[in-house]
Structure 1
Amino acid sequence: MKKSKIYKFLGAVVFLSIIAAGIFYWQLPNRHKAIVKSYLLYKTGIIDNQWDVSNDKIEYKMISPDFYIDGIYRSMEGPKATNYVQLTTDSSLIYITGFKVKAIDSKTKATISKDFICHTNIDFNDVSYYSIFNLKNRIGKQYPRMATLSHGFESYEFPKGYGVPMKGKNLLYISTQALNHNLKDIRKLIKHEVTIRYSKDRNTKPLMCRTIFIELPFDENDPYKSPLDPASNMCVPVETKNHVYQDQNGNKLSGHWVIQPGKKTFTSDVNGQLEIKDSLRLHAATIHVHPFSTAIILFDKTTQKVIFKSKITNHTDRIGITKIESFTSEDGIWLYNNHDYELQLNVNNTTNNTIEMMGSMSLFFYDKELDAILKGNELSD
């Protein structure tokens, strides 16, 4: 075969491959387009793909790679980045006391609208974490998430005198995702600046985290059937692969679903997620919900009393959350293993379209067992 024919053949293959790739790309959901787009922009060096990290005695601060905002990215759809961080270079004991995230301009580093923040997750390796503290019986019992910051809940401090203990050489896994509900005609590079505050005060009381979230049943045979019975607590999941769980009877539940226009309350039993053996004293909680939520409530069904209620204020002139009320208490609130607890989420979808929804809390309890270990200095290297 002549070289000219080979070149024509290769050119045709490349051309057809580009067309096929284009067709495949445009058929992807928006969240998957963001992943592909970010990967290509990072790999080609068109946008910054590095984390900028700085650290001092009380704060660990990091700036994410660039996020290219070129259209609408609703909750869970935007470009994102992940990073492993080590708060100190030695193995000294520290206490995490707070978190903060803000959106900044990629070039000027000036603070910009929080409407570009979807969420920031702070996770830990439970095998390493609990092994160091000689608590191997806790490994695999809880989802290893320390906290979630999100749109409307961008900063949080634990009550005075409390913190989550870590040995400095332990790693945290940070993931942060961009958001844009409202600006259609936009071409903008942004970053997220994430701050983790910590202390070395050995008088700090240790907290442990239990993550609870709304998980709802759906029709496994026809998961996207709609409309549902308005009186039911059933849901239509966003998808059936991610954020899908099973109850003790093997029924599938979704933690990421769609809500119809109008008001509704969703409820979810959280006794299994809490795993209270005897009693626990609650001192703090971080909240994660999506726009059009109006309140999320931890409710004691046994006493028919609200443990705490987080009111959620939405923007009035655009989609987004203005403020999510947090919960902190130095005195604490007791929860008991012979009580039934549920998570309640109130929503009000004021649009004419379906909206994606989630609702979760990271609850922080005084850790009596770990406090005794720390006071006895029984730590592994």
Structure 2
Amino acid sequence: MESPVGEHYQVPLPGTPRRPADGGLQHVLDEYKISVRRRCEHVTEGTDEAGSGTLLNRIYTELYITEGQSEEVNTQHEVRQLEKTSKMKIVHETPIKCHDIFKALPDQQKHIRVVLTNGVAGVGKTFSVQKFTLDWAEGLENQDVSLLILFSFRELNLIKDEQYSLLMLLHVFHPTLQKVTAEQLAVCKLLFIFDGLDESRLSLDFYNSEVLSDVTQKSSVNVLLTNLIKGNLLPSALVWITSRPAAASQIPPGYVDRLTEVRGFTDAQKEEYFRRRVSDEDLSSRIISHIKTSRTLHIMCQIPVFCWITATVLDHMLTTDQRGELPKTLTDLYSHFLLVQTKRKKQKYDEGHETSPQELMEADREASSEAGEAGV
């Protein structure tokens, strides 16, 4: 942890991490880590109710992340292009661990302050952010960072027309930090994470916006962000932005020190995911074996969210009384997934009729037929 400003604060030697001398700030930071851990340790899947989610550490599977960007950036239909992009060559294809994205590689001398991470929808960008944050809060990784501040562009959109200072943003979105002062921020090593640039409704103007250097000065949220990314506000603060490829161009390349791409699961990681997601070893092995029989499903399982859909459908089919061929096409899988979710919704909100396996299978055949006629 970094040292706050206080009468016991001593300037460290160059390169020496500063340590907290102010017990008051240290207590606030400890409480903040506890709140962050509570917020990040569970994930909600499907129709799970709030508070009943799965432990992230139980199901999280390491993703394949590379430094650099695909030679072609897919800005159209991401799923239809998946097989094509999976074969693309990567410029400087260097695998990198999520928790190491701010660490220079052995052959690199540059200081990495701003990281932009690309990835198609459902590939695991937000889960990576959540895992990174949880590991920090649990004291496992990146402990040179005093304070990690997570924002989503979805929540920032709600205040896009209002005036805030950067310090106010911290206080409003993270109430545990309300006692932290501007002077204390100035000597902390900070990491700001902005998740989901593709959902942003902010007008990020890096060339014509006003210059801000004071964390207590009010302005629009887009001006605060551009100045933080450019290094005018808190010039030593680290910044991590995630985005789908089509929206990443909102950040000029000149302000990005490292570009990474989340590419989903390797074949080995696909299997690890299903073994984590389905605790019954025999059942997970049957699911993995079935996926390998369908080239389409195996390719699509590069995307984690598709792995979740596949696990949901196959787990349901293999653990109920249903008989019939397991889905091998996207149409069959999606139609059955829709029906499984519909049944769960009925169970949750409709105390009356319970859908029988026979009714579900009949509806499955009808949905598959209709989807096929529609060209899905």
| Range class of TM-score, shorter chain | under 0.3
- For normalisation by structure 1, the TM-score amounts to 0.24
The structure with the largest helix share of the pair is: 2
- For normalisation by structure 2, the TM-score amounts to 0.24
